[in-house]
Amino acid sequence: MADGMRLEHIGSTAVPGIPAKPVIDVLCVVPFASLAEVDEIVVPHFPHAGWFTSPEYNAMLGERRYFRAWDAAGAAHRAHLHVVPHVSEQGNQFLLAAEYAELKIALAEAHSHDRSTYTARKAVFVGNVVQSVAGAM
């Protein structure tokens, strides 16, 4: 993997035990500061690796680029790839949502009969996120 690139399994299939469609979502955080760099340097290589997209659809997505990989017959897509620059707020939101989901599952297992502890531990995570957002403003 290139220096500064990060791949994360996101979406429903990344959270054990919850229903999910049979499509894997992957977030690729690339070491570029803008979508213009992503479009120029990264996007042209994906079709050669079996990832396809629509420029019109991507134009509606804000700070990310979206690709699909299809099954061998070309009948159904099997994976989604979301590509974001390392400074992307959307990328940060994807990662925070996945981290929060994992935390909730772990807390539910550890504190299944102690609702107040479960809620208090979630509040710590949420408080840290709120504090981080407030500090960035």
Q: Other CB atoms closer than 10 Å to residue 111's CB: what's the count?
A: 16
CATH class of the region 6-136 = alpha beta
Per-residue pLDDT band for 130 (boundaries 50, 70, 90) equals: low
Give the mean pLDDT of 104-108: 84
Counted residue by residue, the chain has a size of: 137
> What are the boundaries of each domain within the chain?
6-136
Tens digit of each residue's pLDDT (9 = 90 or more) over 37-86: 989 988 899 888 889 988 899 889 888 899 999 888 888 889 999 898 87
Q: What is the CA radius of gyration of the chain?
A: 18
Task: Mark residue 11 as left, alpha or beta (left: phi above 0; alpha: psi -120 to 50; beta: remaining).
Answer: left
Q: What CA–CA distance (Å, rounded) separates 81 from 53?
A: 10
Handedness of CA 101, 107, 108, 114 (dihedral sign): negative
- C-beta separation of 29 from 49 below 8 A: no
